[in-house]
Amino acid sequence: MRPYPVWKKSRHSGQANACVEVAANLPRLVLVRDSKLGESSPVLRTSAVAFAGFITSVKSGRFDG
C-alpha cells in the first residue's frame, strides 16, 4: 500500500484559509499546496532535505526584508 499525503497547516494560521499546507509524512518527500484551493491546488514537490534547509533559512531571517 502506498502512503498518502497528510496535509497540515501551521497552528499559527488559526481559522484562516489563505495559507499553505504541507504534507511531510512521505518518505524523503515534502509536498506543499495552497490551502484555499484544497484538492484542486497545484502541488510543489521537494525533497525533505531541501525543505528542511528552506525552513532553517526562514527561521534564521534570511528572507526578511
- Is the separation of the CB atoms in 30 and 44 below 8 Å? no
Residue whose grid cell is 526584508:
65
Residue whose grid cell is 484544497:
38
Residue pLDDT, tens place only, 4-54: 999 998 777 767 667 899 999 999 999 999 988 988 999 999 999 999 999
pTM, full prediction: 0.82
- Is the separation of the CB atoms in 27 and 3 below 8 Å? yes
Q: Whole-angstrom Cα distance, residue 22 to residue 61? A: 20
Predicted pLDDT at 5: 94
